[in-house]
Amino acid sequence: MSTPPLHQLGARAAAKAIAAGTLRSQALMEALLARIDAREPVVRAWAHLDREEALRQAREADTRAASGALHGVPVGWKDIIDCAGLPTGCGSPIHRDRIAAQDAGAVAMSRHAGALVLGKTVTTEFAASHPGPTTHPMNPAHTPGGSSSGSAAAVADGMVPLAIGTQTGGSVIRPASFCGIVGFKPSHGLINRFGVKQLSDTFDTVGTFSRSVEDAAWLVSALTGRADLAPAQATRPASIALCRDSDWSEVEPPMLAAIEQAMSQLAGAGVQVRTLDLPPSFDGMGEAHKHIEYFELARALQPEYRGAREHLSAAIRGRIETGLALPPQAYEAALALRQDCQRQMTDLLAGVDLLLAPAAPGEAPQGLQSTGKATFNRLWTALGLPALTLPHSTGARGLPLGLQFIAGARRDAALLSHATWLEALFRRHP
């Protein structure tokens, strides 16, 4: 069997090889930079790269003994997250020249684990809906998803083994599905958000992109300092419920076929599978999510709106103005519905290890004017539950279809453990 090129090496495999002395971090960094040089003109995943600084970090790592689980491994960071000495542009001309004075909390934790900062990945404007220039790595006529566009595309294309994104609606789970990689949105607040440009305090969640569940587990363990999250042992879930809500009609036929195939695979492997239809009280959660997000972003983005409104897209201006016009009573009512649904979900999850839902309506849509719909992600973000995208199959256009698995509140370690088993099942029985 031929050895895969260095740019395809997974994060844990790379870290082990570097620690063993069979791979130099500089060689890995050079391979990734060569891949970026070859592919970036088409994929356009990077907002900022300092090649000399990236190589300097790698050379320095090679002079030291392994200092952590990700020693010598490069990571890409969504361009709303501060990395000391690099711009944090937020996908907007307003912040194009703002240089971060210090690392965000998650960046500092990654350095503590020995990881290197490769660069900043493209985000939509303020991690909202106005797209950046990134294209799908398998077909540049299609969106890679958003708002963590660059992070998903860079990992999928072999430009970096790990990348960080954020999710306020569906900005980790959906692009991971579109690009055919593993996206992990942890429980709200599990990964520290200091130094991350705020959109919605209630929903903003730092998440990860990788090409395996193992790499996701090691990365989130490094970012949180929690050893219980990695290594994730493969554990078969006893029961999985397919969750259907009021938006189920938006599931496209290829995704529906993938879900049906997965249910058959799970049943054949001894997992108890059933269907869970959410009660009518959940029907208002889509509108509640919108009210909470828009109310909060209208206040978080006031400096930009008041000081440089002409440099904001019409899309983000519209969201801010909608949020400013929203009565506080509507915001409070949305928060109350969210809290009620969180209580109900605890009861609904009794006796169920995981929920299964589409990660997106279907394949990545054609065109770069939109990053796709977060229809099947908003509920889980709103409830603060951990969710993970697993690549499953491909659709009619040959683009990836991902399945979304959701666990109960703060059951991140269990989700990663079960996902490790599910990943192996889907790879054995494509």
Same domain, 52 and 121: yes
For range 273-290, the mean pLDDT: 97
Instruction: Return d(Cα 428, Cα 214) in angstroms, integer.
Output: 17
The number of folded domains in the chain is 3
Contact assessment for residue 72 and residue 18, using Cβ atoms and an 8 Å cutoff: yes
Q: To the nearest whole percent, how much of the chain has pLDDT over 70?
A: 99
Same domain, 276 and 313: no
Same domain, 84 and 212: yes
Task: List the catalytic residue out of 78, 120, 290, 373.
Answer: 78
Task: Provide the pLDDT for residue 2.
Answer: 66
Does the pLDDT value for residue 254 go beyond 60?
Answer: yes
DSSP states of 102-160: S--HHHHHHHHTT-EEEEEE--SGGGSSS--S---SS-TTB---SSSHHHHHHHHTTS-
pLDDT tens-digit readout, 136-172: 999 999 999 999 999 999 999 999 999 999 999 999 9
**pTM summary value:** 0.98
Same domain, 310 and 194: no
In a domain, 395, yes or no: no
Same domain, 354 and 408: yes
In a domain, 209, yes or no: yes
Contact assessment for residue 362 and residue 136, using Cβ atoms and an 8 Å cutoff: no
In a domain, 1, yes or no: no
Is residue 147 among the annotated active site residues? yes
Same domain, 260 and 352: yes
pLDDT tens-digit readout, 44-54: 999 999 999 99
Is residue 290 among the annotated active site residues? no
In a domain, 107, yes or no: yes
Same domain, 260 and 366: yes
Same domain, 80 and 196: yes
In a domain, 392, yes or no: no
Task: List the catalytic residue out of 148, 149, 171, 187.
Answer: 171
Does the pLDDT value for residue 135 go beyond 70?
Answer: yes
In a domain, 234, yes or no: no
In a domain, 295, yes or no: yes
* Confidence band of 428 (pLDDT split at 50, 70, 90): confident
Same domain, 146 and 171: yes
Work out the mean pLDDT of the chain and round it to a whole number: 97
Domain that holds residue 357: 239-281+341-387+401-428
Task: List the catalytic residue out of 25, 110, 129, 147.
Answer: 147
Q: How many CA atoms lie within 13 A of 191 on its CB side?
A: 32
- How distant, in Å, are the alpha carbons of 185, 194, 353, 393 from that of 228? 17, 22, 18, 30
Is residue 171 among the annotated active site residues? yes
Same domain, 246 and 220: no
Same domain, 164 and 65: yes
Same domain, 192 and 252: no
